[in-house]
Chain A
Amino acid sequence: SQQGEEDPQALSIQEGENATMNCSYKTSINNLQWYRQNSGRGLVHLILIRSNEREKHSGRLRVTLDTSKKSSSLLITASRAADTASYFCAPLGTGGFKTIFGAGTRLFVKA
């Protein structure tokens, strides 16, 4: 298992703008997942991208994966105040069973 590291630690934008968060990891992965956490609550699964995929979309979410750079990005387009939350990436390494979460990116969307 391995841990993803999100960047930036915090991001503040205006409603309607796009938000981009990045995730880096260290070893080979089977897949990488993104989760959202609203303040003090459980995590909600957003999207899973497999190691043989380069881009995936889900509604206003766009995830890219670059296995050569061991990095992923999450783009939220046309952000809304309700998108205010912490976002975590969870890379699942080829050798392990468990996803380990990083510190997350805290996104603030101002109305």
Chain B
Amino acid sequence: KAGVTQTPRYLIKTRGQQVTLSCSPISGHRSVSWYQQTPGQGLQFLFEYFSETQRNKGNFPGRFSGRQFSNSRSEMNVSTLELGDSALYLCASEKDGAINNEQYFGPGTRLTVT
């Protein structure tokens, strides 16, 4: 079974631009979560989508948004990029809403904002 894939793996953008990151979960998984990881802040939860609906949301500004498609693939969008948005963005998929699920993480997208 293929793992979680994220595209692109590396990205360099300029301040003020916007970016869209993509995550394809493991086949059959319906939940996708997004995380931002920076050296200073650690691993922070952005949001979770389940069956095309946002189920949980972290404390990030409205510039960070996401969506999930009917095939469970998810995209994350960051508008008006700031230097502080430079980070490793990880997505994780889970099978369903069961409480004892483990999350399977993708390799991440390394975003650099200049």
Contact = CB atoms under 8 A, between A and B. Distances in A.
Given A40-B110, A101-B42, A104-B43, A48 B100 contact: yes
B103 interface: yes
Given A97-B55, A97-B97, A102-B42, A41 B108 contact: yes
A48 B102 contact: yes
Nearest to A50: B100
Contacts of B42: 101-104
Contacts of B56: 1, 96-98
Contacts, number: 61
Contact of B105 (A40, A43, A96): A43
B81 interface: no
Contact of B92 (A41, A43, A97, A103): A43
A99 B103 contact: yes
A41 B45 contact: no
Given A50-B100, A99-B103, A101-B35, A42 B4 contact: yes
Interface size class of B (residues with CB under 8 A): 20 to 34
A30 interface: yes
B106 A42 contact: yes
B26 interface: no
Given A97-B55, A101-B35, A104-B43, A45 B100 contact: no
Given A101-B35, A104-B43, A41 B48 contact: no
A48 B103 CA distance: 11
Contacts of A30: 99-100
Contacts of A67: none
Interface of A: 1, 30-31, 33, 35, 40-45, 48, 50, 88, 90, 92, 96-104
18 contacts: A1-B45, A30-B100, A33-B102, A40-B108, A42-B90, A43-B90, A45-B104, A48-B100, A48-B102, A88-B43, A92-B99, A97-B55, A97-B56, A97-B99, A98-B48, A100-B45, A101-B35, A101-B43
> Which 10 pairs of residues, A with B, have the shortest CB-CB distance?
A42-B105, A103-B42, A45-B102, A101-B43, A43-B105, A98-B56, A30-B99, A42-B107, A42-B106, A100-B45
